[in-house]
Amino acid sequence: MSDPGTATERGGRPNAELAVHLDGITKRFPGVVANDDVDLRVERGSVHALLGENGAGKTTLMNVLYGLYEPTEGRVVVDGEERSFDRPRDAIDAGVGMIHQHFMLVDTMTVAENIALGSEPRKWWGLAVDHDRIDREIEDLCDRYGFSVDPSATVDELSVGAQQRVEILKALYRGADVLILDEPTAVLTPQEVEDLYGVLEELTDQGKTIIFITHKLGEAMHAADAITALRDGKSVGTVEPDETTREELAELMVGREVLLEADSEPVDAGRPILSASGLTVEGNRGVELVSDIDIEVHAGEIFGIAGVDGNGQSELIDAITGLRTPDEGTVHFDGENVTSWSRRRRIDAGMAHVPEDRHEQGLVMPFDLVENAVLGSQRSARFATNGRIDWDGVRDHAEDVIQTYDVRPPDADADAESFSGGNQQKFIVGRELERDPELVVATHPTRGVDIGSTEFIHDRLLELRREGKAVLLVSSKLDEVQALSDRLAVIYEGEFVDVTDPDAVTEEELGLLMAGERPDETDARGRESTVDVDKPADGGER
C-alpha cells in the first residue's frame, strides 16, 4: 500500500514530501502500553526532534522504525511505501539508520574497519577484503559531507565527538537516507555540540532526513525544523520552533508548568565535610590521571567540577568515594582520615555516591528494583537485623523511591535492565539521596533524565544544601553545573585549571577552559584569577 502523504496534512510546508510516516503506531509490552496510537510525519530533508520525558515512548517509537520492535498496531511508511521490518537489517536496506546513545563501535579497530564492519566489499573472487575501496568510499563520504576523520585511526584514539561522526559515517556507508539519533548531545562538549549542528545542517542540505530523540529543550529549539512531543506514550502535538517557546514546550512535554532555571540562593557555608589534599592517581601504565589535586567541600555548599570526560574526574571521584586508593595524598571526611576506608565504610559514615556509569557501578542489571534498593545498605540497621534483611522494609523503601522520583513503569519487581536509561538513573539518584547523607558525590546526576525529573533532582540537591549537607557535583552539562554550584572547578588533564565563581564565567569561556585553552595565571577573560580552591562559598574564614 502506498502513502503519498504530504506535509500539508500536519500543517507543514506546502507539498513537502514525507520521508517517514508512522501511522497510528501502538506498541504494547506485558502490562505496559509504550506507544498509544502515535502519528509521526517527518518531511524529507528536515531535522525533526522527538521530545519527551523518560518513559514517554520516544525510543520505543524509533525502535519500531528501525526494526528492533514490531508494532502491535499501525503502519510504518518510508518514502511513500508501507514497510514491515522484522529486524534492523530490513530497515537499513530501506535506507533507515540509527545512531544509538551508547556508540556501537569496537574501540580496538580502526575507523575504516568499524564503518565497513559486516558490509565489507570483497576482491579476488571474494577471498579478501578490498581495503583500498573502503578507504576511497569513506574519503568520498567525508568530502561530500564535510567530515574530517582519519580512516586509519583506531576508535579509542578519537574524541567522543569524532566517534559520533564515525557512527554517522557508518550509517551513511550503508546507504541511510533517514538517520535516527538517540540523545545525540548527551556526552558532547559545547564546541562538539556546535560541530554536530553543523553536521546536521550539511546532511539535510544533501537531502538526508534526521530524526533525533531528546529531552533537551534548547537543542530541539536550535536544531529542529519541527518538534513532536510525546507524553505517556501519546503524541501531544507537533510544533515549529519559531512558533513556540521553551516554556510552552516544557509544559507540552510534562503536562504542567516547569521551572526551567534552578533557584539557587546564597547560603553560609559551614565546616569542611570533605577535604582532599595532594591527590594523585596513576593509571595501569604509571601515567598520572589525577595530579596533586586539593579540594575542600563545606557543609551547605555545592562544589562543582566541569570537564570533558576522560580528564581525570572519574579517577578523582573513585579516590574520594573509596572505589580506588590514591597513589599519593589523603582524603578526610568530616574530620577523619578515610583514605584507606572501604566504600561500604564510607557509605555507613554518611557518604552517598551517584556513580558515573549506572550500569557498571550503580545497578545490578539482572536484579529487580527491590534488590537494587538495598545495595550498599545490606548491613545497616535500617534494613537488617542480626544479619537478616527485612525485605518488606526494603520493598517499602524501593516503592517510595519509585514514587518520589517518578520511575516508570512503577514496578518494583521489574529487573533493572528492563528500564530505560533515564529511569535507571532516577532510581539510582533516589536511592543515594535518600540515604540521609552528610556528603553527596553526584556524578552526572541528570544524564539521560527528562526535564521534569531534572527539575526535581536539582531541587532535591538544593534542599540538601539548605539542610547543611555538602554536595560535590560533577557534570558535563555546563548549564547545570553553573546554575547549582557555589564554586566551580574546571578539570583538564588531571588538574584543576581554574576554580571560579560560576556566575562570573560564561558557558563559552568554560568550554574553552575544558579544552585547556587559557593563559597561565589568568582566568577565561584574561584577568588574574583570584579564587582560592580552599575558600568557603561565603568568602569567610575556615
Question: Which residue from 201, 167, 169 is spatially nearest to 184, judged by alpha carbons?
Answer: 167
pLDDT of residue 531: 37
Cell of 413: 519487581
pLDDT of residue 455: 85
pLDDT of residue 542: 29
pLDDT of residue 83: 95
| Helix, strand, or coil (residue 438) | coil
pLDDT of residue 518: 59
**Is the bond preceding 519 in cis, omega lying within 30 degrees of 0?**
no
Q: What pairing do the DSSP bridges indicate for beta strands 439-443 and 209-214?
A: unpaired
Question: Which residue from 445, 413, 442 is spatially nearest to 426, judged by alpha carbons?
Answer: 445
pLDDT of residue 4: 41
Please tell me what DSSP assigns to residue 412: T
Q: Which residue has the cell 521530545?
A: 51
pLDDT of residue 540: 40
pLDDT of residue 525: 36
pLDDT of residue 261: 63
Cell of 464: 540538601
CB 260 within 8 A of CB 246: yes
CA distance linking residue 234 with residue 239, whole number of Å: 15
Classify 1-95+177-257 by CATH class.
alpha beta
Q: What is the mean pLDDT of each run of 10 residues along the chain (542 residues)?
A: 42 69 95 93 97 87 96 96 94 94 84 85 80 86 83 85 88 93 78 84 93 88 95 94 91 78 68 96 87 96 90 94 96 96 94 92 96 93 91 96 91 92 91 95 88 86 94 89 94 93 86 71 39 42 32
Classify 268-348+470-542 by CATH class.
alpha beta
Cell of 380: 545497616
Domain borders along the chain are 1-95+177-257, 104-175, 268-348+470-542, 351-436
Q: Do domains 1-95+177-257 and 351-436 have the same CATH topology?
A: yes
Q: What pairing do the DSSP bridges indicate for beta strands 288-298 and 18-29?
A: unpaired
Question: Which residue from 501, 507, 488 is spatially nearest to 190, judged by alpha carbons?
Answer: 507
CB 407 within 8 A of CB 423: yes
pLDDT of residue 266: 66
CA distance linking residue 515 with residue 460, whole number of Å: 31
Q: pTM, whole model, 2 decimals?
A: 0.68
pLDDT of residue 396: 96
CATH superfamily, domain 351-436, is P-loop containing nucleotide triphosphate hydrolases (3.40.50.300)
